[in-house]
């Protein structure tokens, strides 16, 4: 399984969400997209995005100034 990674560091709202939406299109169903962001607002936003779109937020974590999200493509 190839790793799908989106680096959204340095981008502000709503770019991390827009880029994630675009990136998910090339992720096969059931596989995971890993998103890295520096926007503190993206923590709430990725939860909302996944809720609405039905993609599964497997994990949401912080590492220093980096927010990491694992999104399973539905």
Chain positions contacting other proteins, by CB under 8 A: 10-15, 17-18, 20-22, 24-25, 38-39, 48-49, 52-55, 73-74
- Least distance to other proteins, CB of residue 41, Å: 11
Query: Number of helices (H) and strands (E), helices first, in the chain?
Result: 2, 4
4, β-bridge pairs: 33
- Least distance to other proteins, CB of residue 11, Å: 5
Q: Rounded CA gap, 35 and 17, in Å?
A: 10
- Answer yes or no: 50 catalytic: no
Active site residues per annotation: 13
């Amino acid at each position: 399984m190839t790793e799908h990674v989106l680096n959204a560091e340095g981008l502000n709202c709503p770019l991390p969400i827009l880029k994630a939406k675009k990136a998910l299109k090339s992720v096969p169903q059931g596989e995971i997209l890993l998103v890295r962001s520096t926007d503190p607002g993206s923590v709430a936003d990725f939860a909302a995005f996944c809720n609405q779109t039905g993609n599964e937020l497997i994990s949401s974590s912080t590492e220093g100034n980096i927010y990491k999200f694992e999104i399973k493509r539905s």
